[in-house]
Structure formats: structure tokens, C-alpha cells
Structure 1
Amino acid sequence: MRDVVYSLSVSLDGFMESADGDISWSLPDAELHEFHNEQARGVDTSLYGRRLYQDMAGYWPSVVDDPTASSQEADFARIWLATPKVVFSRTLEKVEHNSTLVRDDLAGEVARLKALPGGDMDLGGAGIAASFLREDLIDEFRLFVHPVILGGGTPYFPTLPAPLSLQLADTRVFGSGVVFLRYRRSARD
């Protein structure tokens, strides 16, 4: 069965964007971008909420032909465009760029997707991840912990009613000081 993997950059104090929505502190250097690209190549489907989908769709399609883009950025843009995407939104009218729109039944759609043949699905966006966590739909967490303290903002993890047990599966330290942490869900009750 395919896994749902929640993967985002996070500050040392647990925020994925600052209080004013800034994410510039998380821009990857070449080494980290190459690692992100390798991670993206291993994904079969991307799962997005409205906001992150709109941000990604508003940026990456133009990067493919941008002569000022780095080789890592152009590579990621090609990967992003080729990867099938499922966008969960009740407000969007349409989606593009190899995307499918799902308006309701989050748990049912994820169960359907997990039952299909293929590789893992990555989940992006704190808002949609909170919904996935409430429905117990995330199998793996990949955090890119940046050496910055934001002091507030959008948390990587929402408030949960009970602890969630995890097992460390992998770590890596990058030259920039970013630490990659990969955790798998412990056996579910």
C-alpha cells in the first residue's frame, strides 16, 4: 500500500512560515535543492491544499524555460510538472498542470489513492496536513529543520488531542546546517 509522506521545511521552533507568511528563510542552497529533487523523483503523486497548490502552480511552470533559473530549479520544475497532483479544495473551480480537483471526502479519496498501485504520495501544506493528521492519514514525516528561530507563525504540527508515536528512520545534516529528519508512524492501535 502507498504511503502518505508529509514533507516541509520547518524552523527550529516548529514553524513552516513566519507570522507574516515569509518562507524566504527556507530557500534551499544547491546541495539541499538536489536532495529535494531526489526526494521528488521518488514521489508518485503530490497531495495539496488550495493555498500551496496555487503557490506552486503560480511559480514552477514558468521556471522550466527561465534562463536565469539554476539547474536545480529547472530540474525541480520539470519534476513538478510531470508529477500527478491531487488538490483538495472546496473553493477552486479548476486545476491545471497534471492535477485533479477533489472537493470532499478527504479520507475516502486518500483510501482510494492508497489502494492504487504506485509509489508514495507527498503531502504539502500545513493546513491540509492538519486535516490529514486529524483523520490519521499520514504515514511518514520528513522535516527539514532550518537553523532559524521564527518566534511564531504557522506551525508544522497542529494541536493534537493525543500524542502521536513515531520512529526515527533517517537523518542527514547538510552543509547549510539544515537537518533532515525522517520519522515513520509507530504501529497503529
Structure 2
Amino acid sequence: MVAAGGAVWAVLSQPAATDSEAKPAPRDVSEAQTLLSAGLMQSQYQDFSGAATSFKRVVALDPHNKIAWYNLGVIAQRDGKKTDALEAYDKALKIDPSFDSALFNEALLLKSSKPDRSIKLLKRVVAHNSKASTAYLHLGEALAKKGRDDEAQDAFSRAVSADPKLLSFVPEPFQASASPSPSTSQAGTAE
């Protein structure tokens, strides 16, 4: 799967269509799944133009395919097409409002232009996944920029707790209190 700016938490289940939405025909769903697999393979081999074509064909057959919309967003983000990326992530999130990969990538796109929206999206990610260390790190950065230092400190501490290798990415003023505490066995040893 294509990934930009962080971990991918893709869930392959598709939501059921409501009565007001037309369900794709079984043949279309089968063809869409084949095209989705092709697009994912093309992405893996860095044929992003071919992958985008495949994903566009998927959503033409199955407009409720969040994986295809998400990957269209990733490709647009990779190509510097922020508006297209946001539109694709929004479509994926309309299908599945708890799709962490789309939430995370959209939050990164909005981090500098709409920090409050970015914070809300990142909070949704960490609410679903308490081990989302990179999301916590970005949340801490966004909160620190807003002057919300106590909340930022908590986010940085959670990031480092989930992945101690992230400590070097924590801004200097927050590093000391974000550092993992020594284990009781280390604290109890005498030199």
C-alpha cells in the first residue's frame, strides 16, 4: 500500500450501502477488487501514474471503496496536489469516519494551514489507537505551536512511551519530561 508521512492502518472491510445509495453489481465489485489489487501492486513498484488510473477505475465501479480513495489521496499528496489529496481523504472518511490512515494523512496536510483541525484529527487517531506513536508526536508538535504546553507534553510523553526512538524528534524544551523513566531495576542498582 502507498504510504506518505507515516504508518498505514488500512482496514479492508467495506461498509454496507444505504438504501439511498446504489450498490455496485457483483461483477463490478469483483472487477473493482481486481483493479484495487493491481493499483496496490503498481504503487509498490512506484508506478504511481498507473496506480492512480487503477484507483480511479475502482471508484468509478465502486464509489464506496475507501482504500481506493485513500490511495488516490496518498498519490495526490505525494505529487504535491494538496486539494486533490484532501478531497480523496475526505471521501474515504465519509465512507469510514474512523479510518485512521486517512485521518492521519489529512491531519499532516492541514498541520500548518489549519492547526486546530489537524489537532482534532490527530486526537481521533490516538483515541482509536493508543500505540500510534507518530500521531502522538505530530499532535504534540501541533499543540506546542498553539502554546498548549501541558497537552503537548502529554502527547510527547505518550509518543516516547510507545516508541522510545522518537525522543530525538521531541523538541528540546519537552525532552526531559518526555524521556522514558528508568526501570525499577535500573533505579535500584548501586554503582
Sort the TM-score into its range (normalised by shorter chain). Answer: under 0.3
Larger radius of gyration: 2
Higher percent of residues as strand: 1
TM-score using structure 1 length: 0.27
TM-score using structure 2 length: 0.27
